[in-house]
Each structure stands twice: as structure tokens, then as C-alpha cells.
Amino acid sequence: MSTTNQMSGGSNVGRRIYRVDPSSALASAWKVAGGIGLLGAVGAAFGFVRAHDRFAYSYLFAFFAVLTLALGFLFFVLIQHLTGAGWSVTVRRLAEFFMSGLVIFPVLAIPLLLSTASLFPWMSHRGAEHGESAPAEEHHSALDFLVRDANAAPPAPPSQPAVPAMRHGGGSKAFAEELEQAEHAEHAEILHGKLGYLNRGFFYTRAVAYFAFWCWISITLFRLSTEQDKTKKLENTVKAQRLAPVATILFGLTLTFAAIDWTMALEPLWYSTMYGVYAFAAGVVAMFALLTLVALAFRRSGLMGNAITAEHFHDLGKLTFGFLIFWAYITFSQFFLVWYSNIPEELTYYHRRWPVHGGAWKVISLALFFVKFVIPFLVLLSRNVKRHTVLLAIGAAIIVVMHVVEMYWVVMPNYASGAFAPNWLDLACLLTVGGLYLAVVLRNMTAHSLIPVGDPRLERAEHFQNA
């Protein structure tokens, strides 16, 4: 504890105003972010018209990458209320700003929801949930993507090279076609069984439900917290704490099914019970890394005074480190169980991301392990690093960047032939979603105090030590 604090009686409250100076560059940063977003949107709109299929995938990638982060921040705020945490009060507002950006996602989702036909071929099966089977012709057109699957999918274990060779290379062409059609029909039948869940009406209903919940909870928690800045009422904390348990459960369910709907269903025949947990782990580790970076930036700017100390960075570093291991654990377990059991219908997911198409995806798959996990793991292991900021920032930055790469890796192998082919639309969409989201976040930052000055546990957070 610093001498200054001791002499001042330990209270910073009421004497310092943690606000963005309206004349500073930061105060107008939201306009810059919004401008970048709009610029990206122009490019994306061009793509929407001219290269709709590609746009759909690029946009989904950008949307999902930013959404998982924003939901990570929602989780952070929820868990602080759920546990009644004291240490984190001084950084909680920063997370709340990023959480508050969730309100723009219903708007950002519009281009996505208009492009579902390009993303999810099962969308065209209307009325199938009533059990009437669609005409065979329609089946065929709607399920063309399955042929693509069948080409890319059959895993070729080195021990049995004969099987795929016979299927695609050797044997007569007629035989190969016959086989393909048989497989196709089988896949169509499996898919048909899923249409009770994977259908247009239910998909949109669910999407509306997710957004309704996310907007409601983020607006409510943000309001309770910012209101308290002025009123200093304990009730707001009590209310937030009461809301947290049920909200956490709903958070878990909405995140799980959103991940299933928007990314797992890109490959409608593939399934993994772990998928919701995987999306959660990815979002949360990236969130902690980004929160660390933002807190570092704000501390450097001097706007935070002494409110964020080495102790807080130590804790943020520990949480980033811990959730990085959790992410690695979940990701590895999912991969490992699929790889070990070696069942064709499950392998497709990793097959797309490993040996096919010249191995570009394989490089990214390996990078997810070495760059997203091993390097930050080694960097963040040390206590000194977590308390001293340069290396901490590097470790956190790697994780944030790799989060975006990972979401690219999740979405893009499903596009067209699945080849690794970056497109300018990817960047345009990322700028659109990221820019507009940040505009909301930064706008809120200029309008409210940067730390929750009315929180009853604020002083405890200011003086907290990693004992």
C-alpha cells in the first residue's frame, strides 16, 4: 500500500472524477470507430450485392468473433455479481462498457439474418417440421452442399488408403457417382430428421430470443451500475446480485444454442456435445485478454489514477492464464475424443481443418495450439510478468488476435470448397462489426464514469492486495 494512500486515509472516492475529458481525443474516438465501421459497411454492402455467398461467410465470421467477445464481457460482469467480488470493482466498469455494446448486435445481425440461405442450406426446407417429406428434386438442390461434404469428408487414415482411392479415384466413374448418390441420400435422410430444430421459423425465433435476453440483461446491469454512480445506493448492488444467478443460467443456455445455431449448423451433419462449452471458453479467454489490454491502456492514459494497480493486473493476468488453460483443455478434449474414436461422421470437422486443401488450415490449426496457447502460456506463467505490463500486454494481445483467427478457422472452412482463400470482404466485415460495436462502447465510455464510483465495494478494490 502506498504511503500516499495511507496519509489520505485511503479514500479516493468523491475526490477524483474518473471521466473522459470531453475535449480529449478519446472523447471523439467513438466517431472514428463509427466512421471505420461505416466505411467497412460500404465495402460489405458491395459484397452483399455482388458476392453474396462470400459475404455471408465473411460477415458471419466477423459477427461471431465480436459477439463471443461481447458475451465474454457479459459473463465477467455476471460472475462478479454472482460471487460478490470486491477486487474487481475498479475494472468492472470497463467490462460493463464492452458489455453495453451488446445492444447493437440485433442491428448488426440483420445482414446475417438476410443471408441465412447462403449459410445454411437446410433453411430451404419449409414445412418439413410437420413431417411431410419435400419432393426429391428440391432435396437435391437444397442438399447440393452435401456432395461437397462427401468429397471433402471421407477421412483417409494412412493405413487404409485403398478406400478413398476406390471411392474417388479408382473404380469406374459410374460406380463413384452411384456411391456418392447413395451417400447423398443417406445424408439427406439424416438431415431430414433434424429439421424439427434446423428450420427457418424456429431459427429466427431463437435468434430473437437470444438478442432479447442479451439486450435486456446488458441494459439492466449497465443501468444499475451507472445509476449507482450518482445515487450511491446499496440497492443497486443488491438488485444486480439477485439478478445474477438466473441470468447466468440463461446466459449459458443462449450462448450454447447461439453457437450451435450460427456455427455448428454450418455443417449440419456434424455434432459435438462440447460445442457450447467451447464457444464459451473461447469467448471468455479472449475477453480477459482484451480487458487486460483495455485496463492497461487506461492506466497508461492516466485516467484511472491509482484505481487500477499492479494487484489488479496480477489478477487479470491470472484469470487470463487460467481461462487460457481452460480453453486449451476444452479445445483439446473435443479434438482428442473425435480424433481418437475415428468415427467418419465426426471426423469431418477436423478433416476440413487439417489435411485437405494443401494444408493451409492445418497451419492455422497448429497455430491455434502453439501461438494461441503455448506462447501466451509461457509468457503469462510468471508472477512478475503479470504485474509488469509490457509482456502482459504482449501475451494478451496474442490471445485477442488469435481469437479472431480462431473464429475465422471455425467459420471459413465451410465456405465453398473449403479452401483457405482470404478475401477483402473478411476485413470489410470485421471492420463493420468491430467498428460499429466499438462506437457504441466508446460512446458509453465518454458518457459515464470510468469506474463505478458509487459501488459499496469500491474502496476495497482500490486497496486490495494479492495476499
Chain residues in the site for another protein (CB under 8 A): 1, 5-6, 9-10, 81-87, 190-191, 193-194, 197, 234, 237-238, 240-245, 249, 252-253, 256, 260, 269, 271-277, 318, 325-326, 329-330, 333-334, 337-338, 340-343, 345, 456-457, 459-460, 463, 465-467
The distance of closest approach from Cβ of residue 401 to another protein in the complex, given in angstroms and rounded to an integer, is: 25
CB of 265 vs another protein, minimal distance in Å: 9
Closest C-alpha among 389, 388, 386 to residue 378? 386
Nearer to another protein, 190 or 421 (CB): 190
Nearest CB to another protein, comparing residues 54 and 187: 187
Give the whole-angstrom CA distance, residue 445 versus residue 442: 5
Cα angle: 284, vertex 287, 291; to 5 degrees: 145
Residue 263: CB atoms within 10 A of its CB come to 21
Rounded least distance, CB 312 to another protein, Å: 13
- Phi and psi for 130 in degrees, rounded to 5? -85, 5
Burial class (CB in 10 A: 0-12, 13-18, 19+), 216: middle
- Cβ proximity to another protein: between 5 and 446 the closer is 5
Pick the closer one to another protein by CB: 198 or 440.
198
Considering beta carbons, is residue 259 or 404 the nearer one to another protein? 259
Chain centre to alpha carbon of residue 81: 22
Minimum gap (Å) between residue 62 Cβ and another protein:
26
With respect to another protein, which residue has the nearer C-beta, 105 or 373? 373
The count of C-alpha atoms lying within 13 angstroms of the C-alpha of 365, restricted to the half-sphere facing its C-beta, is 17
For 280-323, the three-class secondary structure string (H helix, E strand, C coil) is HHHHHHHHHHHHHHHHHHHHHHCCCCCCCCHHHHHHHHHHHHHH
Q: Is 406 exposed, middle or buried (0-12, 13-18, 19+ CB in 10 A)?
A: buried
Task: State the minimum distance, in angstroms, from the CB of residue 402 to another protein.
Answer: 21
Q: Rank residues 48 and 278 by Cβ distance to another protein and give the closer one.
A: 278
The DSSP element (H or E) to which 24 belongs, if any, is: none
Least distance CB 189 / another protein (angstroms): 8
Q: For the packed helices 310-341 and 389-411, what is the interaxial angle rounded to 10 degrees?
A: 30
Instruction: Name all contacts of 44-50 with Cβ < 8 Å and 24+ positions apart.
Output: 44/111, 44/425, 44/428, 44/429, 44/432, 47/425, 47/428, 47/429, 48/111, 48/115
Compute the least distance from the CB of residue 260 to another protein, in Å: 8
Nearer to another protein, 145 or 197 (CB): 197
Structure-block grid coordinates of residue 143: 442438399
**CB-nearer residue toward another protein: 312 or 443:** 312
Q: Least distance to another protein from the beta carbon of 272, Å? A: 5
Find the shortest distance in angstroms from Cβ 93 to another protein. Answer: 18
> Which lies closer to another protein via its Cβ, residue 29 or residue 458?
458
d(CA 38, CA 43): 9
Q: Burial level of 272, CB count in 10 A (0-12/13-18/19+)?
A: middle
Cell numbers at residue 231, please? 445515487
Nearer to another protein, 256 or 423 (CB): 256
User: C-beta of 295: minimal distance to another protein in Å?
Assistant: 19
Q: Rank residues 249 and 366 by Cβ distance to another protein and give the closer one.
A: 249
Q: In angstroms, what is the minimal distance from the CB of 82 to another protein?
A: 5
Cβ count within 10 A of residue 126: 13
Q: What is the nearest approach in angstroms of another protein to the Cβ of residue 193?
A: 5
Q: Return the C-alpha cell found at 184.
A: 447423398
Q: What residues contact 275, with CB distance under 8 A and at least 6 apart?
A: 256, 259, 260, 264, 334
